[in-house]
Amino acid sequence: MTSPLIAQNREPRLWIKNPLGVFTANGLDGSGGIVVSGGRITEVLGSGQQPAAPCDEVFDASEHVLTPGLVNTHHHFYQTLTRAWGPVASVELFPWLTSLYPVWARLTPRDLELATTAALAELLLSGCTTAADHHYLFPQGLDEAVDIQVQVVRRLGMRAMLSRGSMSLGEQDGGLPPQTTVQAAEVILADSERLIGRYHERGEGAVIQIALAPCSPFSVTRELMAASAELAVHHDVRLHTHLAETLDEEDFCKEMFGLRPLDYLESVGWLTGRTWLGHGIHFDDEEIARLGVAGTGVAHCPTSNMRLASGTARVIELEAAGVPVGLGVDGSASNDASNMILEARQALYLQRLRYGAAAVTCEQALGWATRGSAGVLGRSDIGQLAPGLQADLALFRLDELRFSGSHDPVAALLLCGADRADRVMVGGHWRVLDGQIPGLDLPGLIAEHSRSARNLVAG
């Protein structure tokens, strides 16, 4: 028997109807909800509006706040194995790194699979649908680190920008990381090309994208930075690195290269719209203007920046200069959570400390976590609720004690500290239902991930 839907030769239509609150990230009125069909948003409905055609299914969202799927622009998934590690709980970036490098050097393929699953599951449960990762550790036996991550992303049904990170400047040559954690430039570049060829998707609705990501000025040679930029242009992929995170890094650049970090970045061909930078804190006025002209993006990581006492990014001034700005939770050894909706709250508060309460609204912070982050990753098909865009969205309930007595439902997400989505959709598929990821054994994951973390630190 042929179903009427197939007979009509069209995709089923779902109306997510009359949400309690909605943030579209573009000023559209979505108070009547949205219609999803064929993996995309086909209609955004204003107050009292009905879908243009009958819907096959209606989800009553009258107890939910609807947002675009959150987009995370900077992370190191493997670091979920070294969260809240005592020896580095109260230190700044350089000693934090030098204490952790030898631990991270022991990472195995199974460790990475568990860490990636834990990080992505936590992100997904916080309303995140697209995540960037920066993986730069390839100890012996972990040559296929990014391949492992691709499999986990697919298993969870999310989208990801996986960057092939690298370290090539070891202690012997004046760098920060131990020699055992660095790779030869030829190996790095060959693997980068392999990964682009094998996994990088282009165009609307891409699930997996690959970027090239030498780790930082103090762990990569100048030659590898320049060669990575050339390779990225050749294959038309994005470039990512840490920059202007700490004053220690600035001192290192002046001493090693005779340049401030941004001048160094420009000297190796990276000051372009293809690049997004993790942190981007210590820029002067003239440098902010140059970033804006180039269209180089910044992943603002407020929790990590507070945790390591690195400084406060000049987000409002960056945006005013035309710099794309998004949010990143950063690696879980410096956050130590992977929670995007809480990160938006941190951004709201940290930026208010810098600019005042009136200058930073809840909508702005949610905008950085969605549309802003999508722009940082070079994507215009996600990050907003608008007709034609991918059906990536999150629904939050406000029935926990922490929300009781709240009035503006969108403001309540950040001001009352929402930390968990009730439902999350990626490309038209529900990936979180009733606050759970169907098919994922969370207690089993926690048990094995915790065991792996203990073994990694024990050595």
Min dist CB 158 to Zn ion, Å, is: 20
Min dist CB 317 to Zn ion, Å, is: 22
Token code pair at residue 347: 């951004």
**Residue labelled with tokens 């239509």:** 13
CA 216 to chain centre: 18
Q: Which is nearer to Zn ion, 113 or 330 (CB)?
A: 330
For every residue of 320-371, DSSP letters joined together read: HTT--EEE----TTSS----HHHHHHHHHHHHHHHH-TTTS-HHHHHHIIII
Residues that bind Zn ion (rule: CB under 5 A) add up to a total of 2
Q: By C-alpha distance, which of 366, 335, 408 is closest to 127?
A: 366
Min dist CB 72 to Zn ion, Å, is: 12
Q: Which is nearer to Zn ion, 126 or 241 (CB)?
A: 241
How far, in Å, CA of 325 to CA of 201, rounded? 23
The stretch near Zn ion (CB under 5 A) out of 179-187, 329-337, 426-434, 447-455 is 329-337
Min dist CB 134 to Zn ion, Å, is: 6
Q: Which is nearer to Zn ion, 163 or 192 (CB)?
A: 163
Q: Which is nearer to Zn ion, 121 or 277 (CB)?
A: 277
- Chain positions 269 to 308 lying near Zn ion, rule: CB under 5 A, are 278
Q: Which is nearer to Zn ion, 22 or 100 (CB)?
A: 100
Min dist CB 328 to Zn ion, Å, is: 7
How far, in Å, CA of 262 to CA of 244, rounded? 8
CA atoms within 13 A of residue 223's CA, in its CB half-sphere: 7
b/e map of 243-278 (b: 16 or more CB within 10 Å)?
Answer: bbbbebbbebbeebeebbbbebbbebbbbbebbbbb
Token code pair at residue 303: 């929790």
Q: By C-alpha distance, which of 388, 104, 252 is closest to 96?
A: 104
Residue 30 near Zn ion by CB under 5 A: no
Q: Which is nearer to Zn ion, 211 or 360 (CB)?
A: 211
> What x-and-dash track marks residues 65-104 binding Zn ion by CB under 5 A?
----------------------------------------
Q: Where are the beta strands (DSSP E) in 167-221?
A: 208-214
Min dist CB 23 to Zn ion, Å, is: 27
Min dist CB 242 to Zn ion, Å, is: 5
Backbone angles phi, psi at 390, to 5 degrees: -60, 145
Cβ atoms of 444 and 95 closer than 8 Å = no
Min dist CB 310 to Zn ion, Å, is: 10
The stretch near Zn ion (CB under 5 A) out of 4-12, 92-100, 323-331, 437-445 is 323-331
> What x-and-dash track marks residues 237-276 binding Zn ion by CB under 5 A?
----------------------------------------
Q: Which is nearer to Zn ion, 288 or 299 (CB)?
A: 299
| Contact footprint for Zn ion (CB under 5 A) | 278, 330
